[in-house]
Amino acid sequence: MRKIDWTLLISVIVISIFGILMIYSASYIWAEYKYGDALKYVKNQSLFFIVGLILMIIISKIDYKIYFKKSNLILLICIVLLILVLIPGIGTVRNGSRSWFGIGSFGIQPSEFTKLGLIIYVSKYLACNEKSTKKFKGILPILGLLGFIFGLIMLQPDFGTGTIIVMSIIGLLFVGGVDFKYFIRLGIVGVVGIVGLILAAPYRLSRILSFLNPWSDPLGSGFQIIQSLYAIGPGGLFGYGIGNSRQKHFFLPEPQTDFIFSIISEELGFLGCLVVVVLFIAICYTGFKISKNCDDKFGKYLAFGIIFQIAFQACLNLMVVVGLIPVTGYARNWEKITKVVGILINKGKNTILF
């Protein structure tokens, strides 16, 4: 009989419910303005939460060794979906990236399935090729596959998701015993690749420059991070109180998604942020402990890969929100955002902060 890790289960449920509450608080202004329904986003997220709980119960009954047997098929399906989403008429464009399958406001990203599918495949590869992965030739197939998948994702383009996938697999290779000197070489190649990506898309360079000094272009590339900092700064210890954010009133872009942590900080202060961080730490610590205690090599790598990806993605998001690293993703239409701000200023509903 499988034992339930109650720390993991309770932490996941609590952070999910807390997330739904904060999505409502962060989104009802924008949802009312755009859709005429203040509950638009919270309804969607609540539905996903319920579906997620059902899937969690079902999947918990499945022997994870089945994924070992079907890893090739799972990865193949993920790659096919990544290719299909690039075809106009099949994939849809949202926020500048053709990375969604969807109808109306509902959609799924094949790259999200690829995150898990690639971890399953690499976990199997490491479990079956422990000796060969000690040499660089042994990890070349994984690096080639990783490069191919990263390329497909960059065609969307979605640099943030691509980075998460790459770092997740690098983390798996590291715990799989790959010699550290190879990571130095990979790091050099990675830096060259990032420079190439920046040169290929000027908006990425503008984001790097705005990260260093966002106030150099406060109504352009620096707009989002400035508004995020204006949300985080005044929060103090206890915040303004839930529902009382100022920045969600058309100032901070994506307050209900990428930058929801800013709203948490503004409304609930340092203590609210601490709750979120502690819950993530509990989830990650428990996941790593499960990986460490697993006797099966595939299960060990699988558990580590999944939890490392969650940990890295959470850290990446928090660092972006507080301005420690540049904003990832595709360039937003800042002109529309600043136009909305200008309308509000002209109506006397708010005052711009810079």
Domain ranges of the chain: 64-200, 201-354
- Cα dihedral sign for 179, 185, 188, 189? negative
Which token pair is 337?
């955002």
- Cα dihedral sign for 103, 157, 306, 127? positive
Of residues 251, 142, 159, the one with CA closest to residue 208: 159
Q: Which helix (H) or strand (E) holds 318?
A: helix 297-321
Which token pair is 143?
């690096």
Output the tens digit of pLDDT for each of the chain's 354 residues: 567 888 999 999 999 999 999 999 999 988 888 888 888 899 989 998 999 999 999 998 888 889 999 999 999 999 999 998 888 878 777 766 777 777 666 678 888 899 999 999 999 999 988 777 777 778 888 889 998 999 889 888 788 888 899 989 988 988 887 777 777 777 787 777 777 766 666 666 666 666 677 787 777 777 888 888 888 988 888 989 988 888 888 888 878 888 999 999 999 999 999 999 999 999 999 999 999 998 889 999 999 999 999 999 999 999 888 888 777 654 444 444 444 444 444 444 443 333
Of residues 259, 340, 334, the one with CA closest to residue 95: 334
- Please report, for the chain, how many H helices and E strands are present, in that order: 13, 3
pTM reported for the whole predicted model: 0.84
The total of other beta-carbon atoms located within 10 Å of residue 16's CB is 17
The total of other beta-carbon atoms located within 10 Å of residue 57's CB is 9
The total of other beta-carbon atoms located within 10 Å of residue 222's CB is 23
Q: What is the CA radius of gyration of the chain?
A: 21
Q: How far apart are CA 310 and CA 316, in angstroms?
A: 10
